Amino acid sequence: MKPLLALATGLLASTVSAADWPETTLDWTLRAQAEARSANPDSALAPAAQILGAGRDCGAGEVRLRGRVGQVGFAGQAWAASCDPSGVDRDGRVDELFWEGEAGPQHFTLGKKVVSWDVGFAFRPLDVVQRENRRALIDQQLEGVPVVMLEHFSSRLASTLVFANPGQSDQALRRDEQALAWRGFAQTTAADLHLLARWGAQERASLGAGFSAVPLDSLELHGSTRWGQRATRLVGTWPSNQPLATASPWQDEVGGAFWQALIGAQWTGENKVSVLAEAWYDGTAPSESEWDAWHARNATISAFAYAPDIARAGNLAWNAQALGQVNLHRANLLLRAAYGGDTWQPEVDWLYTPADGGSVLSAALAWQGDRLRIEAGARSYLGPTGSLYRQLPDRGNAYLMMTLPF
């Protein structure tokens, strides 16, 4: 097969002149990172630490590619990772592969592409196609969604119609759900305005709106809100007549209506220091009564002394699935400060959940050379022992990363 591909490539190159070959760009980046994590002995999930990989140190190296050949764009990555004491895991992924075309003011896209919407920093209610988690400590290259997209642009107006996940099953949920989404954008003298409408095979109707305004040279205000007819939630259904489950009790279920809303402000000074504050409400996050049931279930599992340790640990590991959601509580507050220097770029942010007093403190420092970028950061989970962030299997983590683009 390899000789055949080489021959075909040679024949194609010999028959197509340089003038006929489409414009081509290719950027690639090498990245190496090391991450250290500390296990949380105060968590109710501590007996399942080994199953969950809590406190496991990891190292990884990866190659990222991004480019374009004519009207075809692509992005992908390949990596090798090792987490002590496991072996090396090698894998790769195509993040984007799409065709783009134009006809006057109409712009067409077909294929797998990253489609991120909305104006928030930590949470985006209107991000109904990409649905990215914006609270990851270590930056990751996003994986696109299969789309058929039509866009129309004018000087102050834009409209985008997206058919996401064509060909998917009608039962697919979350990012994989087959859906039709429309976004409108208008630039006015007072603010940039966003409108959203979506219809999903499972989640049905959804409507939203957002804005971004700059009332002062140094001050930016933004916000967005969305109502949905149905929401996909992670729901735990434990057996009522026995203390331990024999299969994971957590399943995605499509439930009732919800609201999401975010409001934020960012001040940026002439000295390149910026301060951001955001508050948001996510009606798709678990309620306090659901978390009370989660705590009670953990206590029941731990108290069942007649079961083998591995059986109790397995049930606690299943319950850790609930802590993997983007927002653990419905009400959240974020404060962030950063300095955008040319060489040194420090930043720190603090996420607080008023419902139980839990919080997440994150800090990072980056050094940017001509090409090489070196970055280090750390995250710690704080608050009362019973708060959700203090129940995570890890108490905190730190990383060191080097990135070299070509």
- Give per-residue pLDDT as tens, 20-63: 778 899 999 999 999 999 999 999 999 999 999 999 999 999 99
- Say if residues 179 and 169 touch (Cβ distance below 8 Å): no
Q: What pLDDT digit, counting tens, does each position of 135-144 carry?
A: 999 988 899 9
CA distance linking residue 340 with residue 94, whole number of Å? 31
Has residue 9 got a pLDDT over 60?
no
Rg (CA), the chain: 24
Partners of residue 130 on adjacent β-strands: none
Q: Residue 383: what pLDDT?
A: 96
pLDDT score, position 382: 97
What b/e sequence results for 229-254 when a residue is b if at least 16 CB atoms lie within 10 Å of its CB, and e otherwise?
A: bbbbbbebebeeeebbbeeebbeeeb
- Gap between the terminal Cα atoms of the chain: 29
Query: In which band, very low, low, confident or very high, does the pLDDT at 5 lie, cut at 50, 70 and 90?
Result: very low
How far is 145 from 355, CA to CA, in rounded Å? 34
| Residue 372, helix vs strand vs coil | coil
- Which whole number is the average pLDDT over 64-87? 91
**How far apart (Å, rounded) are the C-alpha atoms in residues 7 and 125?**
50
This prediction has a pTM of 0.89
Q: What is the DSSP letter of 177?
A: -
Kindly report the CATH number assigned to the domain that includes residue 132.
Answer: 2.40.160.100
Q: Which region, left, alpha or beta, applies to residue 131 given φ > 0 means left and ψ of -120 to 50 means alpha? A: left
DSSP string over 192-245: EEEEEEEEETTTEEEEEEEEEEEEETTEEEEEEEEEES--EEEEE---SS-SS-
Lowest mean pLDDT of 1-10, 27-36, 230-239, 300-309, name the range.
1-10
Using the structure block, give the residue that is written with the tokens 């890890």: 394
Phi, psi of 133 (to 5 degrees): -85, 115
Let me know if residue 5 belongs to a domain.
no
- Other residues' Cβ atoms within 10 Å of the Cβ of residue 218: 12
CB-CB contact of 178 with 172 (8 Å): yes
Is 18's pLDDT higher than 90? no
The residue among 353 and 139 whose pLDDT is bigger is 353
- Do the domain assignments include residue 1? no
Residue 405 pLDDT > 90, yes or no?
yes
CA atoms of 189 and 180, how far apart (whole Å): 30
Q: How far apart are CA 47 and CA 41, in angstroms?
A: 9
In a domain, 330, yes or no: yes
Q: Is residue 7 scored above 60 in pLDDT?
A: no
CA dist list (Å): 120 to 81, 256, 262:
32, 25, 7
Residue 332 · residue 280 · CB < 8 Å: yes
Residue 11's pLDDT is what?
40
Please state, in angstroms and rounded to a whole number, the distance separating the CA atoms of residues 150 and 67.
22
- Residue 19 pLDDT exceeds 80: no
Q: Which domain, by its residues, includes 337?
A: 24-405
Per residue in 304-320, is it b (16+ CB within 10 Å) or e — as a string? eeeeeeebbbbbbbbbb
Mean pLDDT of 305-315: 91
The H-or-E segment that residue 289 falls in is helix 288-303
Cβ atoms of residues 226 and 202 within 8 Å: no
> What is the enclosing helix (H) or strand (E) of 335?
strand 331-339
* DSSP class of 51: H
374 lies in a domain? yes
Separation of alpha carbons 112 and 98, rounded Å = 5
Stretch 93-113: mean pLDDT: 93
Q: What is the reported pLDDT for 332? A: 98
Q: Any residues with CB less than 8 A from the CB of 296 and at least 6 apart, and which?
A: none
Give the lowest-confidence range in 7-16, 237-246, 324-333: 7-16
H or E element in which residue 32 lies:
strand 24-39
- The predicted pLDDT at position 4 comes to 38
Q: What is the pLDDT of residue 17?
A: 52
Q: Could you give the number of structural domains in the chain?
A: 1
Give the model confidence (pLDDT) of 124-161 as tens digits.
999 999 999 999 999 888 999 999 999 998 889 999 99
Whether the pLDDT of residue 14 is over 70: the answer is no
The crossing angle, in degrees rounded to 10, of helices 309-319 and 288-303 is 170
For residue 400 the two structure tokens come to: 């060191």
- Residue-wise pLDDT for 215-246, tens only, equals 999 999 999 999 999 999 999 988 888 889 88
For the chain, give the mean pLDDT.
92
